[in-house]
């Protein structure tokens, strides 16, 4: 796909404009976002993502448009899993509801920056070293297996290595000072719990960036489409948080579905590399990948809603942890 510098600049400028719009919205008086406001913003960002995909279809053809929509669907699905972790972080650190918007906005900005960096590095690595396909594939299979293994467990932000280290090194107040990361106490500048929240959010963004970029490279090797899919998926993340907050607990099997998707995309990447060496090895078509991803998400969503209806006490878990809660308990 030949993308001119002008097109790149226009798309980047549009995304920066949307970020600025979000910043202006969040910079208003802190407030708890209601369903109507969240629904409006979510529809707006999804419509933009679809419009971009249709533009790709018109200008570059159905193949690239299919790749974009598949990458966007994967990123949107992973962003929902990301929301699980965000909710747990905000809940366990007892962040006041009126400041959730600002924390999420910072999380989105960090995620965009990290993913832009990883996209550039990933594209350069693939261009120079085709075995990168296998490395990315192995990362996704390993991540998917880990997510499958711990699908019914919540992460523990307080046990985050960075959070624990910083808590020991710095003086942290017990009370929030609005959305400030630092405040003054007895004339000295000290960190607030919000600073630890930002650290936990940043490390979460790094983890998800390490997962999502190989996943989208498994769908398409076009940096332009990967960047756009990531940007449009992340821009609507803040609104999606408030829209789905009450529903997320009901998506019991989402982590299982995502773990399967990650492992399948990992296999697709490995098959792509093998196809380049041995032409008889089949290359998995993007349209097939899109269909399978959509089917998995549909099945896990319907199964989750049926389970939650039968058992109202059942709740979804994020599952993205390095050690199980049982192991944590044993250490304690």
Domain span including residue 193: 5-325
d(CA 155, CA 319): 6
Is pLDDT above 50 for 326?
A: no
From 2-6, 104-108, 196-200, 245-249, the region with the lowest mean pLDDT: 245-249
pLDDT of residue 25: 67
User: Is 280 a domain residue?
Assistant: yes
User: Is 332 a domain residue?
Assistant: no
pLDDT of residue 316: 62
Q: In this structure, what token pair is assigned to residue 97? A: 């509801």
User: Is 110 a domain residue?
Assistant: yes
- Residue written as tokens 């994020």? 318
User: Is 183 a domain residue?
Assistant: yes
Backbone angles phi, psi at 121, to 5 degrees: -65, -45
d(CA 163, CA 186): 24
User: Is 268 a domain residue?
Assistant: yes
Q: Is the dihedral of CA 143, 147, 149, 155 positive or negative?
A: positive
Q: Specify the number of domains making up the chain.
A: 1
3-state secondary structure of 201: helix
Specify the higher pLDDT residue, 195 or 168: 195
User: Is 269 a domain residue?
Assistant: yes
Q: What is the mean predicted confidence (pLDDT) over 162-168? A: 76
pLDDT of residue 235: 84
Band of residue 12 on the pLDDT scale cut at 50, 70, 90: very high
User: Is 331 a domain residue?
Assistant: no
Say what the pTM is: 0.74
d(CA 249, CA 157): 18
Q: Give, in order, the Cα–Cα distances in Å from 78 to each of 30, 33, 56.
A: 27, 23, 23
Selection from 84-88, 158-162, 297-301 with the highest mean pLDDT: 297-301
User: Is 330 a domain residue?
Assistant: no
d(CA 100, CA 105): 9
Contact 305, 318 (CB under 8 A): no
């Amino acid at each position: 796909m030949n993308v001119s510098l002008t097109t790149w600049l226009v798309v980047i400028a549009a995304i920066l404009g949307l970020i600025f719009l979000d910043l202006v919205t969040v910079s208003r008086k802190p407030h708890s976002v209601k369903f109507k406001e969240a629904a409006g913003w979510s529809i707006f960002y999804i419509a933009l993502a679809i419009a971009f995909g249709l533009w790709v279809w018109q200008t570059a053809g159905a193949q690239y448009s299919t790749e974009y929509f598949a990458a966007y669907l994967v990123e949107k699905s992973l962003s929902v899993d990301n929301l699980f972790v965000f909710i747990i972080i905000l809940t366990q650190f007892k962040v006041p509801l009126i400041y959730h918007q600002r924390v999420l906005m910072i999380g989105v900005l960090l995620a965009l920056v990290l993913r832009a960096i990883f996209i550039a590095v990933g594209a350069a690595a693939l261009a120079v070293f085709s075995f990168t396909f296998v490395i990315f594939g192995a990362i996704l299979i390993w991540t998917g297996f880990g997510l499958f293994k711990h699908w019914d467990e919540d992460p523990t932000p307080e046990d985050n290595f960075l959070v624990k280290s910083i808590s020991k090194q710095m003086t942290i107040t017990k009370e929030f000072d609005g959305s400030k990361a630092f405040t003054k106490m007895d004339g000295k500048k000290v960190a607030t719990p919000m600073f630890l929240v930002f650290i936990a959010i940043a490390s979460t963004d790094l983890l998800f960036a390490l997962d999502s970029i190989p996943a989208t490279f498994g769908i398409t090797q076009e940096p332009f489409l990967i960047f756009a899919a990531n940007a449009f998926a992340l821009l609507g993340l803040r609104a999606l948080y408030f829209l789905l907050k009450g529903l997320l607990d009901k998506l019991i099997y989402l982590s299982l579905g995502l773990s399967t998707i990650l492992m399948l995309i990992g296999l697709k990447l490995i098959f792509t590399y093998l196809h380049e060496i041995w032409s008889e090895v089949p290359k998995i078509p993007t349209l097939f990948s899109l269909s399978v991803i959509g089917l998995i998400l549909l099945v896990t969503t319907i199964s989750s809603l049926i389970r939650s209806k039968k058992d109202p006490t059942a709740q979804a878990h994020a599952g993205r942890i390095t050690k199980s809660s049982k192991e944590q308990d044993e250490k304690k």
